[in-house]
Structure 1
Amino acid sequence: MLLLLLISSAFVLPWAGAGEIIGGNEVVPHSRPYMAYLKIQVTNNTGTFHSYCGGFLIRPDAVLSAAHLNVTVILGAHNIRVQEQSQQRIRVRNFVVHPNYDPDGHVNDILDTNATINANVQTITLPRHNEGVQVATECEVAGWGRTSLGNNRTNVMMEVVLKVQNDTLCLQQFRKYRRQSMICVGDENGTKGTCHGDSGGPLICNQKAHGIVSRRPSGLLFPAAFTRVSHFVPWIPQQLRRFALQELPASPSSQ
Protein backbone atom coordinates (compact mmCIF):
# COMPACT_ATOMS: atom_id res chain seq x y z
CA MET A 1 0.00 0.00 0.00
CA LEU A 2 1.32 3.42 -0.84
CA LEU A 3 0.98 6.08 1.83
CA LEU A 4 1.18 9.75 0.93
CA LEU A 5 1.90 11.59 4.15
CA LEU A 6 1.39 15.25 3.59
CA ILE A 7 2.77 17.39 6.34
CA SER A 8 -0.70 18.87 6.23
CA SER A 9 -2.55 15.63 5.33
CA ALA A 10 -1.86 11.98 4.35
CA PHE A 11 -2.32 9.57 1.41
CA VAL A 12 -1.95 5.78 0.83
CA LEU A 13 -0.86 3.65 -2.17
CA PRO A 14 -1.46 -0.08 -2.40
CA TRP A 15 0.98 -2.79 -1.37
CA ALA A 16 3.80 -1.56 0.84
CA GLY A 17 5.04 -3.90 3.52
CA ALA A 18 7.82 -4.25 6.08
CA GLY A 19 11.50 -3.76 5.60
CA GLU A 20 14.95 -3.67 7.19
CA ILE A 21 18.45 -3.16 5.87
CA ILE A 22 20.43 -6.42 5.99
CA GLY A 23 24.00 -6.73 4.75
CA GLY A 24 24.37 -2.98 4.29
CA ASN A 25 26.52 -0.18 5.67
CA GLU A 26 25.97 2.92 7.76
CA VAL A 27 25.31 5.95 5.58
CA VAL A 28 27.36 9.12 5.80
CA PRO A 29 25.34 11.18 8.34
CA HIS A 30 22.70 13.33 6.61
CA SER A 31 23.78 12.21 3.13
CA ARG A 32 20.16 11.20 2.38
CA PRO A 33 18.25 14.33 3.45
CA TYR A 34 14.99 13.14 1.86
CA MET A 35 14.66 10.22 4.31
CA ALA A 36 11.88 10.25 6.93
CA TYR A 37 11.58 8.12 10.08
CA LEU A 38 7.92 7.40 10.94
CA LYS A 39 6.87 6.60 14.52
CA ILE A 40 3.52 4.82 14.51
CA GLN A 41 1.21 4.51 17.52
CA VAL A 42 -1.17 1.55 17.35
CA THR A 43 -4.03 0.92 19.81
CA ASN A 44 -5.97 -2.36 19.96
CA ASN A 45 -7.76 -4.56 22.51
CA THR A 46 -4.52 -5.38 24.30
CA GLY A 47 -3.34 -1.79 24.65
CA THR A 48 -1.15 0.74 22.88
CA PHE A 49 2.22 -0.01 21.32
CA HIS A 50 4.63 1.74 18.98
CA SER A 51 6.10 0.67 15.66
CA TYR A 52 8.21 2.42 13.06
CA CYS A 53 8.96 2.51 9.35
CA GLY A 54 10.51 4.73 6.70
CA GLY A 55 9.35 7.31 4.19
CA PHE A 56 10.71 10.05 1.96
CA LEU A 57 10.04 13.74 1.41
CA ILE A 58 8.68 14.58 -2.06
CA ARG A 59 7.82 18.24 -1.26
CA PRO A 60 7.95 20.40 1.90
CA ASP A 61 4.44 19.31 2.92
CA ALA A 62 4.32 15.74 1.63
CA VAL A 63 5.99 12.46 2.59
CA LEU A 64 5.49 9.26 0.60
CA SER A 65 5.48 6.05 2.65
CA ALA A 66 3.66 2.88 3.63
CA ALA A 67 2.66 3.94 7.12
CA HIS A 68 -0.55 3.47 9.08
CA LEU A 69 -2.57 5.69 11.42
CA ASN A 70 -1.36 8.04 14.18
CA VAL A 71 2.04 8.83 12.72
CA THR A 72 4.79 11.23 13.74
CA VAL A 73 7.27 12.02 10.95
CA ILE A 74 10.90 12.73 11.88
CA LEU A 75 13.00 14.45 9.21
CA GLY A 76 16.70 15.29 9.24
CA ALA A 77 17.66 12.30 11.39
CA HIS A 78 20.74 10.06 11.34
CA ASN A 79 20.80 8.52 14.84
CA ILE A 80 17.13 8.10 15.67
CA ARG A 81 17.82 7.46 19.38
CA VAL A 82 19.38 10.91 19.82
CA GLN A 83 17.62 14.30 19.83
CA GLU A 84 19.79 15.71 17.04
CA GLN A 85 19.51 19.44 16.37
CA SER A 86 18.92 18.62 12.70
CA GLN A 87 15.69 16.72 13.41
CA GLN A 88 12.21 18.06 12.62
CA ARG A 89 9.25 16.24 14.22
CA ILE A 90 5.88 16.69 12.50
CA ARG A 91 2.47 15.10 13.11
CA VAL A 92 0.47 13.72 10.18
CA ARG A 93 -2.89 15.46 9.85
CA ASN A 94 -4.90 13.31 7.39
CA PHE A 95 -4.80 9.97 5.57
CA VAL A 96 -6.16 9.15 2.11
CA VAL A 97 -6.43 5.52 0.94
CA HIS A 98 -5.83 4.63 -2.70
CA PRO A 99 -9.03 3.20 -4.34
CA ASN A 100 -7.14 0.00 -5.22
CA TYR A 101 -6.05 -0.52 -1.63
CA ASP A 102 -5.19 -4.15 -0.96
CA PRO A 103 -5.53 -5.33 2.65
CA ASP A 104 -2.27 -7.18 2.06
CA GLY A 105 -0.66 -3.87 1.15
CA HIS A 106 -0.33 -0.38 2.72
CA VAL A 107 -0.93 3.60 2.38
CA ASN A 108 0.05 7.52 1.57
CA ASP A 109 0.05 10.57 3.93
CA ILE A 110 0.19 14.40 4.36
CA LEU A 111 1.86 16.33 7.19
CA ASP A 112 0.56 18.87 9.71
CA THR A 113 2.95 21.69 8.78
CA ASN A 114 5.58 22.35 6.15
CA ALA A 115 9.05 20.96 6.68
CA THR A 116 11.90 23.45 6.69
CA ILE A 117 14.12 22.70 3.71
CA ASN A 118 17.83 22.92 4.58
CA ALA A 119 21.06 20.94 4.25
CA ASN A 120 19.62 18.06 6.34
CA VAL A 121 16.03 18.04 5.03
CA GLN A 122 15.44 17.96 1.27
CA THR A 123 13.04 16.43 -1.25
CA ILE A 124 13.61 13.59 -3.73
CA THR A 125 12.32 13.56 -7.32
CA LEU A 126 9.65 11.08 -8.45
CA PRO A 127 9.76 9.33 -11.84
CA ARG A 128 7.42 10.20 -14.70
CA HIS A 129 4.21 8.23 -15.11
CA ASN A 130 5.08 4.63 -16.04
CA GLU A 131 8.79 5.47 -16.32
CA GLY A 132 10.62 2.15 -16.12
CA VAL A 133 13.91 0.91 -14.69
CA GLN A 134 15.99 -1.57 -16.66
CA VAL A 135 16.79 -5.01 -15.29
CA ALA A 136 20.25 -5.12 -13.62
CA THR A 137 20.08 -1.42 -12.68
CA GLU A 138 21.76 -0.89 -9.31
CA CYS A 139 19.52 0.95 -6.85
CA GLU A 140 19.90 2.04 -3.23
CA VAL A 141 17.68 1.51 -0.19
CA ALA A 142 18.20 3.17 3.21
CA GLY A 143 16.51 2.96 6.59
CA TRP A 144 16.64 2.29 10.33
CA GLY A 145 15.28 -1.28 10.34
CA ARG A 146 16.81 -4.49 11.62
CA THR A 147 20.24 -5.55 10.44
CA SER A 148 19.57 -9.31 10.49
CA LEU A 149 16.66 -11.73 10.27
CA GLY A 150 16.76 -11.81 14.07
CA ASN A 151 15.97 -8.86 16.32
CA ASN A 152 19.11 -6.81 15.75
CA ARG A 153 18.21 -3.12 15.56
CA THR A 154 20.22 -0.11 14.49
CA ASN A 155 20.04 3.45 15.82
CA VAL A 156 21.71 4.96 12.76
CA MET A 157 20.56 4.99 9.16
CA MET A 158 21.89 2.09 7.07
CA GLU A 159 21.97 1.63 3.29
CA VAL A 160 22.29 -1.23 0.82
CA VAL A 161 22.66 -1.58 -2.96
CA LEU A 162 20.19 -3.93 -4.70
CA LYS A 163 19.62 -4.75 -8.37
CA VAL A 164 16.40 -4.62 -10.37
CA GLN A 165 15.46 -8.21 -11.31
CA ASN A 166 13.36 -9.80 -14.03
CA ASP A 167 9.65 -9.82 -13.10
CA THR A 168 9.52 -13.59 -13.68
CA LEU A 169 11.31 -14.20 -10.38
CA CYS A 170 8.67 -12.33 -8.39
CA LEU A 171 5.77 -13.75 -10.40
CA GLN A 172 6.93 -17.21 -9.32
CA GLN A 173 7.35 -16.17 -5.69
CA PHE A 174 4.37 -13.88 -4.96
CA ARG A 175 0.74 -14.76 -5.58
CA LYS A 176 -0.33 -11.12 -5.99
CA TYR A 177 2.68 -9.76 -7.85
CA ARG A 178 1.61 -7.21 -10.50
CA ARG A 179 4.08 -6.10 -13.17
CA GLN A 180 2.50 -2.66 -13.65
CA SER A 181 2.51 -1.60 -10.01
CA MET A 182 5.50 -3.51 -8.61
CA ILE A 183 9.27 -3.82 -9.14
CA CYS A 184 11.22 -7.03 -8.58
CA VAL A 185 14.45 -6.25 -6.69
CA GLY A 186 17.14 -8.08 -4.78
CA ASP A 187 20.61 -9.50 -4.28
CA GLU A 188 21.10 -12.80 -6.13
CA ASN A 189 23.41 -14.09 -3.39
CA GLY A 190 20.68 -13.66 -0.79
CA THR A 191 23.01 -11.97 1.70
CA LYS A 192 21.52 -8.48 1.74
CA GLY A 193 18.08 -6.96 1.41
CA THR A 194 15.10 -5.50 3.25
CA CYS A 195 12.62 -6.76 5.85
CA HIS A 196 10.67 -5.51 8.92
CA GLY A 197 11.37 -1.95 10.03
CA ASP A 198 12.12 -0.09 6.80
CA SER A 199 8.69 -0.39 5.25
CA GLY A 200 7.88 2.71 3.22
CA GLY A 201 11.47 3.66 2.49
CA PRO A 202 12.46 4.58 -1.07
CA LEU A 203 14.24 2.53 -3.72
CA ILE A 204 16.48 5.13 -5.37
CA CYS A 205 17.39 4.36 -8.99
CA ASN A 206 19.06 6.96 -11.21
CA GLN A 207 18.54 9.59 -8.48
CA LYS A 208 14.75 9.12 -8.45
CA ALA A 209 12.43 7.36 -5.98
CA HIS A 210 11.26 4.52 -8.24
CA GLY A 211 10.12 2.10 -5.55
CA ILE A 212 8.88 1.67 -1.98
CA VAL A 213 10.02 -1.15 0.32
CA SER A 214 7.30 -3.79 0.31
CA ARG A 215 7.60 -7.59 0.47
CA ARG A 216 10.04 -10.47 0.53
CA PRO A 217 9.56 -14.25 1.02
CA SER A 218 9.31 -15.32 4.66
CA GLY A 219 12.77 -16.12 6.02
CA LEU A 220 14.48 -15.16 2.75
CA LEU A 221 15.95 -11.97 1.30
CA PHE A 222 15.55 -12.73 -2.41
CA PRO A 223 13.62 -11.76 -4.41
CA ALA A 224 11.74 -8.75 -3.00
CA ALA A 225 8.71 -6.98 -4.46
CA PHE A 226 8.64 -3.18 -4.15
CA THR A 227 5.77 -0.81 -4.94
CA ARG A 228 6.38 0.87 -8.34
CA VAL A 229 5.97 4.62 -7.73
CA SER A 230 5.67 5.62 -11.41
CA HIS A 231 2.43 3.64 -11.74
CA PHE A 232 0.79 5.86 -9.12
CA VAL A 233 2.22 9.22 -10.19
CA PRO A 234 -1.04 10.50 -11.79
CA TRP A 235 -2.91 9.76 -8.55
CA ILE A 236 -0.52 11.72 -6.32
CA PRO A 237 -1.06 15.20 -7.92
CA GLN A 238 -4.81 14.52 -7.91
CA GLN A 239 -4.77 14.02 -4.15
CA LEU A 240 -2.58 17.09 -3.62
CA ARG A 241 -5.18 19.16 -5.47
CA ARG A 242 -7.92 17.74 -3.25
CA PHE A 243 -6.17 19.30 -0.28
CA ALA A 244 -5.63 22.60 -2.15
CA LEU A 245 -1.91 21.93 -2.28
CA GLN A 246 0.35 23.00 -5.11
CA GLU A 247 1.82 20.65 -7.67
CA LEU A 248 5.17 19.06 -7.00
CA PRO A 249 7.67 21.84 -7.75
CA ALA A 250 10.04 21.19 -10.68
CA SER A 251 9.16 17.49 -10.64
CA PRO A 252 8.44 15.35 -13.73
CA SER A 253 5.78 13.56 -11.66
CA SER A 254 3.39 16.49 -12.11
CA GLN A 255 3.68 16.51 -15.88
Structure 2
Amino acid sequence: MILYAFLLLIGISLAGGMESGIIGGKEAIPHSRPYMASIQIKNKHHICGGMLIRKDYVLTAAHCFNRSDYSGQDHLEVVLGAHNVKKDEKSQQRIPVIKYIPHSKFERKNESNNDYSYDIMLLKLKNNAKLNTFVKVMPLPKKNGKTPANVKCYIAGWGLINPKAVVGSNVLREVALKLQENSECERMWQHYFNSERMLCGVSDGKHAFCQGDSGSPLICNSKPQGIVSYTYDGNCANIEYPQAYVNISYFLPWIKKKIG
Protein backbone atom coordinates (compact mmCIF):
# COMPACT_ATOMS: atom_id res chain seq x y z
CA MET A 1 0.00 0.00 0.00
CA ILE A 2 1.38 3.41 -0.94
CA LEU A 3 1.51 5.56 2.15
CA TYR A 4 3.40 8.75 2.88
CA ALA A 5 4.45 9.96 6.29
CA PHE A 6 2.44 13.15 6.42
CA LEU A 7 -0.72 11.32 5.42
CA LEU A 8 -0.22 8.68 8.07
CA LEU A 9 -0.35 11.35 10.74
CA ILE A 10 -4.00 12.01 9.98
CA GLY A 11 -4.90 8.52 8.79
CA ILE A 12 -5.05 9.00 5.03
CA SER A 13 -4.45 5.99 2.83
CA LEU A 14 -3.94 6.49 -0.88
CA ALA A 15 -6.15 4.09 -2.76
CA GLY A 16 -3.43 3.15 -5.23
CA GLY A 17 -1.81 0.34 -3.32
CA MET A 18 -0.72 -3.05 -4.56
CA GLU A 19 -4.22 -4.47 -4.15
CA SER A 20 -7.48 -3.09 -5.46
CA GLY A 21 -10.89 -2.94 -3.92
CA ILE A 22 -14.54 -2.23 -4.42
CA ILE A 23 -16.45 -2.46 -1.15
CA GLY A 24 -20.16 -3.34 -1.23
CA GLY A 25 -20.30 -3.66 -4.99
CA LYS A 26 -21.11 -6.34 -7.54
CA GLU A 27 -19.48 -7.87 -10.57
CA ALA A 28 -19.85 -5.62 -13.59
CA ILE A 29 -21.45 -6.97 -16.75
CA PRO A 30 -18.43 -8.02 -18.82
CA HIS A 31 -17.20 -5.17 -21.03
CA SER A 32 -20.02 -2.86 -19.98
CA ARG A 33 -17.39 -0.24 -19.13
CA PRO A 34 -15.13 -0.34 -22.21
CA TYR A 35 -13.30 2.84 -21.18
CA MET A 36 -11.78 1.16 -18.10
CA ALA A 37 -8.04 0.57 -18.00
CA SER A 38 -6.02 -1.68 -15.71
CA ILE A 39 -2.59 -0.16 -15.03
CA GLN A 40 -0.11 -2.94 -14.38
CA ILE A 41 3.50 -3.61 -13.60
CA LYS A 42 5.07 -5.82 -16.24
CA ASN A 43 4.60 -8.93 -14.15
CA LYS A 44 0.89 -8.42 -14.91
CA HIS A 45 0.08 -7.19 -11.41
CA HIS A 46 -2.76 -4.64 -11.30
CA ILE A 47 -1.88 -1.53 -9.28
CA CYS A 48 -4.32 1.19 -10.38
CA GLY A 49 -7.33 1.92 -12.50
CA GLY A 50 -7.60 4.45 -15.28
CA MET A 51 -9.77 5.70 -18.11
CA LEU A 52 -9.10 5.85 -21.86
CA ILE A 53 -9.74 9.45 -22.92
CA ARG A 54 -8.10 9.29 -26.36
CA LYS A 55 -6.74 6.42 -28.41
CA ASP A 56 -3.26 7.18 -27.09
CA TYR A 57 -3.92 8.58 -23.59
CA VAL A 58 -5.18 7.20 -20.29
CA LEU A 59 -6.16 9.43 -17.37
CA THR A 60 -5.32 8.25 -13.84
CA ALA A 61 -4.02 9.43 -10.43
CA ALA A 62 -0.53 10.90 -10.08
CA HIS A 63 0.37 8.90 -6.99
CA CYS A 64 0.08 5.67 -9.00
CA PHE A 65 3.55 6.45 -10.37
CA ASN A 66 6.43 6.95 -7.97
CA ARG A 67 9.73 7.34 -9.81
CA SER A 68 11.71 6.20 -6.77
CA ASP A 69 9.99 2.81 -6.91
CA TYR A 70 11.01 1.93 -10.45
CA SER A 71 13.83 2.38 -12.92
CA GLY A 72 13.40 3.33 -16.55
CA GLN A 73 10.37 4.68 -18.34
CA ASP A 74 8.78 1.44 -19.50
CA HIS A 75 7.81 -0.37 -16.31
CA LEU A 76 4.06 0.21 -16.57
CA GLU A 77 1.60 -1.24 -19.05
CA VAL A 78 -2.05 -0.41 -19.67
CA VAL A 79 -4.50 -3.23 -20.28
CA LEU A 80 -7.66 -2.27 -22.13
CA GLY A 81 -10.71 -4.39 -22.90
CA ALA A 82 -10.32 -6.52 -19.78
CA HIS A 83 -12.92 -8.11 -17.56
CA ASN A 84 -10.79 -10.77 -15.85
CA VAL A 85 -7.28 -9.34 -15.38
CA LYS A 86 -5.88 -12.75 -14.47
CA LYS A 87 -6.73 -14.18 -17.88
CA ASP A 88 -5.36 -13.43 -21.34
CA GLU A 89 -8.73 -12.60 -22.82
CA LYS A 90 -8.96 -12.15 -26.58
CA SER A 91 -10.61 -8.78 -25.99
CA GLN A 92 -7.59 -7.41 -24.13
CA GLN A 93 -5.05 -4.95 -25.51
CA ARG A 94 -1.78 -4.65 -23.56
CA ILE A 95 0.03 -1.42 -24.41
CA PRO A 96 3.27 -0.09 -22.84
CA VAL A 97 3.37 3.40 -21.34
CA ILE A 98 6.04 5.59 -22.94
CA LYS A 99 5.44 8.88 -21.15
CA TYR A 100 4.20 9.86 -17.68
CA ILE A 101 2.68 13.31 -17.22
CA PRO A 102 1.76 13.91 -13.56
CA HIS A 103 0.59 17.41 -12.71
CA SER A 104 3.63 19.56 -11.99
CA LYS A 105 2.17 20.76 -8.69
CA PHE A 106 1.98 17.17 -7.50
CA GLU A 107 5.33 15.98 -8.77
CA ARG A 108 7.91 17.12 -6.25
CA LYS A 109 11.18 15.67 -4.97
CA ASN A 110 9.88 15.52 -1.42
CA GLU A 111 6.70 13.44 -1.66
CA SER A 112 5.58 14.46 1.82
CA ASN A 113 4.91 17.92 0.37
CA ASN A 114 2.70 16.70 -2.46
CA ASP A 115 -0.61 18.52 -2.85
CA TYR A 116 -3.15 15.74 -3.36
CA SER A 117 -5.65 18.13 -4.85
CA TYR A 118 -3.37 17.81 -7.91
CA ASP A 119 -3.41 14.00 -7.85
CA ILE A 120 -3.90 13.61 -11.60
CA MET A 121 -1.74 12.11 -14.34
CA LEU A 122 -1.82 11.36 -18.06
CA LEU A 123 -0.24 8.21 -19.49
CA LYS A 124 0.92 8.37 -23.11
CA LEU A 125 0.58 4.98 -24.76
CA LYS A 126 3.22 3.57 -27.09
CA ASN A 127 0.57 2.53 -29.60
CA ASN A 128 -2.94 3.73 -30.30
CA ALA A 129 -5.68 1.60 -28.83
CA LYS A 130 -7.84 -0.20 -31.37
CA LEU A 131 -11.38 0.95 -30.70
CA ASN A 132 -14.04 -1.74 -30.85
CA THR A 133 -16.88 -3.25 -28.80
CA PHE A 134 -14.53 -3.92 -25.88
CA VAL A 135 -12.39 -0.76 -25.98
CA LYS A 136 -13.89 2.71 -26.25
CA VAL A 137 -12.91 6.28 -25.41
CA MET A 138 -14.77 8.03 -22.58
CA PRO A 139 -15.48 11.66 -23.55
CA LEU A 140 -14.48 14.22 -20.95
CA PRO A 141 -16.87 16.86 -19.59
CA LYS A 142 -17.12 19.82 -21.94
CA LYS A 143 -16.73 22.48 -19.29
CA ASN A 144 -15.90 23.11 -15.67
CA GLY A 145 -19.21 22.63 -13.92
CA LYS A 146 -20.27 21.77 -10.40
CA THR A 147 -21.33 18.20 -9.67
CA PRO A 148 -24.33 18.41 -7.32
CA ALA A 149 -24.36 16.63 -3.96
CA ASN A 150 -26.48 13.48 -3.52
CA VAL A 151 -26.22 12.58 -7.19
CA LYS A 152 -25.80 8.84 -7.80
CA CYS A 153 -22.38 7.96 -9.16
CA TYR A 154 -20.44 4.80 -9.98
CA ILE A 155 -16.87 3.59 -9.75
CA ALA A 156 -15.40 0.31 -10.97
CA GLY A 157 -12.20 -1.56 -10.20
CA TRP A 158 -10.48 -4.90 -9.78
CA GLY A 159 -10.03 -6.13 -6.27
CA LEU A 160 -10.93 -6.56 -2.64
CA ILE A 161 -14.57 -7.01 -1.71
CA ASN A 162 -13.97 -6.07 1.94
CA PRO A 163 -11.25 -4.08 3.76
CA LYS A 164 -9.81 -7.20 5.45
CA ALA A 165 -9.45 -9.29 2.30
CA VAL A 166 -5.97 -10.17 1.10
CA VAL A 167 -6.79 -11.41 -2.40
CA GLY A 168 -8.41 -9.13 -4.92
CA SER A 169 -11.20 -9.99 -7.33
CA ASN A 170 -10.01 -11.10 -10.74
CA VAL A 171 -13.05 -9.57 -12.44
CA LEU A 172 -14.16 -5.97 -12.75
CA ARG A 173 -16.54 -4.94 -9.97
CA GLU A 174 -18.62 -1.79 -9.64
CA VAL A 175 -20.40 0.08 -6.87
CA ALA A 176 -22.91 2.93 -6.66
CA LEU A 177 -21.86 5.88 -4.51
CA LYS A 178 -23.08 9.35 -3.65
CA LEU A 179 -21.37 12.70 -3.31
CA GLN A 180 -21.93 15.24 -0.58
CA GLU A 181 -21.12 18.89 -0.06
CA ASN A 182 -17.40 19.59 -0.16
CA SER A 183 -17.71 21.47 3.10
CA GLU A 184 -17.97 18.11 4.89
CA CYS A 185 -14.60 16.99 3.52
CA GLU A 186 -13.10 20.36 4.38
CA ARG A 187 -14.32 19.92 7.94
CA MET A 188 -12.87 16.43 8.32
CA TRP A 189 -9.74 16.57 6.17
CA GLN A 190 -9.03 20.27 6.77
CA HIS A 191 -6.23 21.65 4.57
CA TYR A 192 -5.67 18.28 2.88
CA PHE A 193 -8.90 18.81 0.94
CA ASN A 194 -9.39 21.54 -1.66
CA SER A 195 -13.05 22.19 -2.56
CA GLU A 196 -12.18 23.73 -5.93
CA ARG A 197 -10.07 20.83 -7.19
CA MET A 198 -11.71 17.91 -5.36
CA LEU A 199 -15.04 16.15 -4.80
CA CYS A 200 -16.33 14.69 -1.53
CA GLY A 201 -17.87 11.24 -1.25
CA VAL A 202 -20.46 9.98 1.24
CA SER A 203 -19.18 7.53 3.87
CA ASP A 204 -21.95 5.08 4.68
CA GLY A 205 -19.71 2.25 5.83
CA LYS A 206 -21.08 -0.10 3.17
CA HIS A 207 -20.03 1.23 -0.23
CA ALA A 208 -16.51 2.46 -0.97
CA PHE A 209 -13.36 2.24 -3.05
CA CYS A 210 -10.24 0.75 -1.52
CA GLN A 211 -6.47 0.27 -2.05
CA GLY A 212 -5.69 -0.20 -5.72
CA ASP A 213 -8.69 1.68 -7.12
CA SER A 214 -6.76 4.93 -7.47
CA GLY A 215 -7.10 6.50 -10.87
CA SER A 216 -10.43 4.85 -11.59
CA PRO A 217 -13.04 7.31 -12.85
CA LEU A 218 -16.05 8.45 -10.85
CA ILE A 219 -18.97 8.39 -13.31
CA CYS A 220 -21.98 10.62 -12.54
CA ASN A 221 -24.87 11.02 -14.98
CA SER A 222 -22.91 8.95 -17.51
CA LYS A 223 -20.00 11.43 -17.45
CA PRO A 224 -16.59 11.19 -15.77
CA GLN A 225 -16.50 13.69 -12.93
CA GLY A 226 -13.77 12.51 -10.58
CA ILE A 227 -10.63 10.41 -10.14
CA VAL A 228 -10.29 8.12 -7.11
CA SER A 229 -7.60 9.63 -4.85
CA TYR A 230 -7.54 8.88 -1.12
CA THR A 231 -9.45 7.35 1.77
CA TYR A 232 -9.06 6.67 5.50
CA ASP A 233 -6.05 4.48 6.36
CA GLY A 234 -6.79 0.92 7.39
CA ASN A 235 -10.55 1.08 6.83
CA CYS A 236 -11.82 1.95 3.38
CA ALA A 237 -15.41 1.82 4.64
CA ASN A 238 -14.77 4.26 7.49
CA ILE A 239 -18.02 6.03 8.36
CA GLU A 240 -16.51 9.19 9.81
CA TYR A 241 -14.06 10.21 7.10
CA PRO A 242 -15.38 10.83 3.56
CA GLN A 243 -13.49 9.56 0.54
CA ALA A 244 -11.89 12.09 -1.79
CA TYR A 245 -11.77 12.42 -5.57
CA VAL A 246 -9.92 14.79 -7.89
CA ASN A 247 -12.37 16.99 -9.82
CA ILE A 248 -11.78 16.26 -13.52
CA SER A 249 -13.61 19.30 -14.85
CA TYR A 250 -11.26 21.68 -13.02
CA PHE A 251 -8.31 20.17 -14.89
CA LEU A 252 -9.81 20.26 -18.40
CA PRO A 253 -7.52 23.11 -19.57
CA TRP A 254 -4.46 21.23 -18.25
CA ILE A 255 -5.52 17.98 -19.94
CA LYS A 256 -6.19 19.68 -23.28
CA LYS A 257 -2.86 21.49 -23.14
CA LYS A 258 -0.89 18.32 -22.44
CA ILE A 259 -2.51 16.08 -25.05
CA GLY A 260 -2.90 18.78 -27.69
TM-score range normalised by the length of the shorter chain? 0.7 to 0.9
Deviation at 1:100, TM superposition (A): 1.6
Q: May I ask how many residue pairs the two structures share in their alignment?
A: 219
| TM-superposed deviation, 1:148 | 1.1
* More displaced stretch, 109-118 vs 211-220: 211-220
TM norm structure 2: 0.79
Aligned residue in 2 for 1:37: 38
CA RMSD in angstroms comes to 2.0
From 218, 230, 245, give the equivalent of 1:215: 230
2:168 equivalent to 1:153: yes
Q: What is the distance in 1 between the residues matched to 2:91 and 2:34?
A: 10
Query: Does residue 184 in structure 1 map to residue 188 in structure 2?
Result: no
User: What is the distance in 2 between the residues matched to 1:220 and 1:193?
Assistant: 6
Q: Which residue of 1 aligns with 2:152?
A: 138
Q: Which structure 2 residue ranges, 5 or more long, are not aligned?
A: 1-13, 68-74
The list of structure 1 runs, each at least 4 consecutive aligned residues, that deviate by more than 4 angstroms after superposition, is 48-51
Does 2:214 match 1:199?
Answer: yes
Contact map agreement 2:84 2:170 (CA 8 A) in 1: yes
Deviation at 1:99, TM superposition (A): 2.2
Q: For residues 224 and 159 of structure 2, what CA distance do their matches in structure 1 show? A: 19
1:169 matched to which residue of 2?
184
Residues in 2 aligned to 1:56 and 1:130: alpha-carbon distance in whole angstroms: 19
Q: Hey, what's the Cα distance between the residues in 2 that align with 1:51 and 1:31? A: 19
Identify unmatched segments of 5+ residues in structure 1: 1-15, 42-47, 242-255
Identity level (%): 39
**Which of 130, 133, 147 does residue 119 from structure 1 map onto?**
133
Distance in 1 between residues matched to 2:41 and 2:60, nearest whole Å: 12
After superposition, give the CA deviation of every residue in 1:5-45 in whole Å (9 maximum; x if it has no partner): xxxxxxxxxxx74362101000000000000001036xxxx
- What's the offset of the Cα at 1:129? 3.3
Q: How far apart are the structure 2 equivalents of 1:50 and 1:213? A: 19
Structure number having the greater helix percentage: 2
Question: Aligned partner of 2:210: which letter?
Answer: C
Of 123, 136, 151, the residue aligned with 1:109 is 123
SS of 1:183's partner is: strand
Normalised by the size of structure 1, how large is the TM-score?
0.80
1:211 and 1:196 map into 2 onto residues whose CA distance is 17
Counterpart residue number, 1:7: none
Q: Deviations over 1:81-117 (max 9, x none)?
A: 1110000000001112312216344432111110000
The structural deviation recorded for 1:51 is 5.4
Q: 1:57 aligns with which of 52, 56, 64?
A: 52
Instruction: Please report how far the alpha carbon of residue 152 of structure 1 lies from its aligned counterpart in structure 2 after TM superposition.
Output: 3.7
Question: 1:216 offset after TM fit, Å?
Answer: 1.2
